[in-house]
Amino acid sequence: MDNKDKERIGQQIEDLRDKIRHHDYLYYVLDQPEISDREYDLLVRQLIELENKYPEFYSPDSPTQRVGGTPFEGFGTVEHSYPMLSLANAFSHQELLDFDRRVRNVVGDEAEYVVEFKIDGLSVSLEYENGRFVRGSTRGDGQIGENVTENLKTIRSIPLKLNKPYSMIVRGEVFMPKGHFAELNKQRESEGLPTFANPRNAAAGSLRQLNPRVTATRHLDIYLFNLEYVSEHTIDSHMQTMDIMKEAGLKISPFLFKTASMEEIIELCEKWTDKRHDLAFDIDGLVIKVNSMAHRQLLGSTSKTPRWAIAYKFPAQQEETHIRDIEIQVGRTGVLTPTAVLDPVKVAGSVVSRASLHNEDYIRDKDIRIGDHVIIQKAGDIIPEVVRVLKDKRTGEEKEFIMPKFCPVCGAHAIRLEGEAAVRCTGNACPAQQRRLIIHFASREAMDITGLGPAIIDQLLANNLISDAADLYYLKFDQLVELERMGNKSANNLLTAIEESKTRELERLLFGLGIRMVGVRAAHLIAEKFGHIDRIIGAKEEEFLAIDEIGEKIAQSITAFFKEGQNLKLIDKLRKAGVNLQQRSVLLNQEEQRLEHPWKGKSFVLTGTLSDYTRSQAKALIEERGGRVTSSVSKKTDYVLVGENPGSKLDKARELGINIIDQQQFKSML
């Protein structure tokens, strides 16, 4: 390629980047898209193809570099060039008037304010050098924060390259819109994961993910509200800084109101106390800032807060209602959650008729009874909660609530492990848990039933073809071909995969049963110790405690599981279906096996995505044959097992002349 062609291609790539940045700004910042999603996707695809074909034109601020490739072990730290101070809070109109008086005592009657939303999210600092985004960090303790640059790059409203070549430091608030928060919690609930309490917690947890690809799925957004430093400008006022940030292509605070009247500000506080529920994102107050930079200099700051700004915090809207009853909801993880059934009442913009009471400790601590009159509010303006009981309104007819000893859905024992607040159903055949348990049973690290995904499991449950995991082994071809999108070949493949899973080791079955607190490692240790499911069923708690790494909670959980009748029936169904119930490796002389295998004493490093094994499965296979797995490549490494999209470890292995094997070679060496 001659210089002219190279220059032409380079310009084509840069033109595409500029065009995509322009449409990103219109869509994510101004909410005014000019092209369809399909047209946008075609532009991005064209850019990716050119960048892959001509890697010499790589640029860290390209729109294609939004998501980091690999997770990192932890966040580094960033020392803030400008301290990220907290704001003093005002909880009443009088405190706002006092703030105004203090300001005017210093700067006189020329005091002027800017009012903004107080976004309820996570404060961050963004640093740009010559218009390029170079670093982003959390607030931390105000002096030192965490380096979350790669995660911030996944937020589409943060430009990787500014419209102007400014060097600047800006501060803003990362948040999760209410709609995406609701979707995220719904998804987590369906997967049996704990839900987030409010959008602020969800945003904070998402931004601090060690894997940027997870952050990228969370639909975070940002508003910028402070300009700490900018090159090429002399700053006179806060409103001027907002204009500069907007001109640079940054997404600034959506509400700005300039006034010299504290009375007008108080009216705004009253107005937005009610109207905040109409917004697509959470605000927990309004921020009032002195507009003039000269006046800010005169007012100064304490070691923690600026004297030129204050945050008015909205009062939580509370309402009185009556508890008609307390019902038990059984979640997908088997947790029994008491829920108050309320007289409907409007709170924070919506009608509330139910409120979670979390667990029996919560009920006992607040002394909540059926028939009580209570005050409720929405935690984070989202989740209804009982604040307190109006005990002076009790008539004596109120009833104390007692957590049930048995699951109200399936009748299995409900237990509370020592040190935990939750009461859980121990039944493996509990209808409330079945979907999650069957998905887990079929997963790769458990019974590894290829082709049995959530969509097919949903159909099997909906058509009453299965009621628990053991029923999978009794499915017939004629039943499967009747399912939507299930042809003859797919049905045969699924039946073959189910049949093959019967031969899995006991440890895989033990993990697949979904016993509380029994993970892959614990299942392996227990299977190796006892060798057969019947010995595990008959074992006492102290026998589990005798195993290294098995603690009291795991021992309690596994003994409780095998005391439950419906779980024993499940094991019996698996036995009759021909599922393996023993750890075959226990029946062999393992030491002799290790001595004979060529991997004894050999060191392995794994890199890339393994399609045929999980990492833990590959590690276990190596260790069973006397080898060991390390995390980094060195001269002492004997083999590097390579999967798809390997990282820098492959390059290091080539450089050192280490034996490199793929999954096919790995299988043959087994």
Say if residue 431 is exposed, middle or buried (CB neighbours under 10 Å; 0-12, 13-18, 19+).
middle
- Cα of 416 vs its chain's centroid, Å: 26
d(CA 173, CA 285): 14
553 is catalytic: no
Q: Which one from 118, 153, 529, 649 is the annotated catalytic residue?
A: 118
Cα–Cα nearest to 580, from 501, 520, 496: 501
What ranges in 351-424 are assigned the alpha helix state H? 360-366
* Six-digit token string for 502: 């019967």
Phi, psi of 594 (to 5 degrees): -65, -40
- Cα of 436 vs its chain's centroid, Å: 18
d(CA 142, CA 28): 28
Residue pair 253/225 in contact by the 8 Å Cβ criterion = yes
446 C-beta neighbours (distance < 10 Å), count: 23
Instruction: Write a three-state SS string for 566-597.
Output: HHHHHHHHHHHHCCCCECHHHHCCHHHHHHHC
Strands 309-313, 283-290: pairing kind: antiparallel
CA distances from residue 262 to 98, 115, 308, 399, 514 in whole angstroms, order as listed: 10, 10, 14, 50, 60
543 contact partners, CB below 8 Å, separation of at least 6: none
Tracing tokens 């400014």 back to the chain, one arrives at 166
629 C-beta neighbours (distance < 10 Å), count: 18
Say if residue 360 is exposed, middle or buried (CB neighbours under 10 Å; 0-12, 13-18, 19+).
middle
* Six-digit token string for 476: 């017939």
d(CA 114, CA 312): 13
463 contact partners, CB below 8 Å, separation of at least 6: 479, 482, 483
DSSP 8-state class, residue 665: H
* Six-digit token string for 29: 């910042």
Tracing tokens 């490199």 back to the chain, one arrives at 660
Phi, psi of 224 (to 5 degrees): -95, 135
Residue pair 122/173 in contact by the 8 Å Cβ criterion = yes
d(CA 291, CA 299): 12
DSSP 8-state class, residue 28: I
Name residue 312's amino acid: Y
CA atoms within 13 Å, Cβ hemisphere of 628? 8
d(CA 338, CA 357): 5
277 contact partners, CB below 8 Å, separation of at least 6: 348, 349, 350, 381
CA distances from residue 59 to 56, 161, 213, 248 in whole angstroms, order as listed: 9, 11, 19, 20
Active-site residues: which are they? 118
